[in-house]
Amino acid sequence: MGIIWNRAGILVPIIFFVVLAGVSWLVGNDTWQSSIWPEIIAISISSILVGVIGFALNHPESLENDESTINSGGTHSFMFVSMQYWFFLIPILWFSISWYVDSANEEQKEMLSNPQVNDLYRVESKGVFGSETEGFPYQILKVTGVNGQKIYFVEANKVQSQPEYVVEAINNRDYEKRDYFSPTKHETTISELLKWHKDNTLTAVYRPE
């Protein structure tokens, strides 16, 4: 698979995910989700392992010049980058992605803490209503009223089998269609919205312009 990895370069993602899964299993899911130190330990271990193994493979004492490296099949690399340099790239990429995800998550929490009429929520029906249409667990909720800590909403008449279908419906502005939502109003609170978000029952917030 020369385009993605060369020679032992496939070890980069294997080592990364094995170490990540191992540390997560050792500390437990709750600790992994609530603390940053397990991530730091996992990223440090995987980076060091990849760096050391990559350097040992790409710079063995028996190689005296570049020609011998070429004749042996080239360097051990992943995504066109020599293995040893993933020592730097793994933490850079991981924490950059984590920062982006955390920023997006905080933005979602901010919108949930300050709901507005017409806000749309992508949810798993069972977590909200206690039941779901078998095989179709996803749907859209629409905020129809806000009174202090109380939130009033309606649910879409159409449920979806996959979360991406909900995204597609929102991008197509299907929610603007007549009778898209049930006329039955439901009531909840801001604290309950935040709890749904924490439990991954409410997975996305949209604020139509």
Token pair belonging to 53: 């193994």
Same-domain pairing of 151 and 94: no
Count of domains forming the chain: 2
- Domain of 158 in residue numbering reads as 114-206
pLDDT for the residue 191: 92
With beta carbons less than 8 A apart as the criterion, state whether 76 and 54 touch: yes
**Per-residue pLDDT tens digits for 41-81:** 999 999 999 999 998 888 876 545 544 444 455 688 898 88
pLDDT for the residue 125: 87
Domain boundary among 74, 90, 111: 111
Same-domain pairing of 11 and 57: yes
Residues in the chain where the model's pLDDT stays below 50: 63, 66-71
Same-domain pairing of 81 and 173: no
Domain boundary among 111, 128, 160: 111
Same-domain pairing of 99 and 123: no
**Per-residue pLDDT tens digits for 132-145:** 777 888 999 999 99
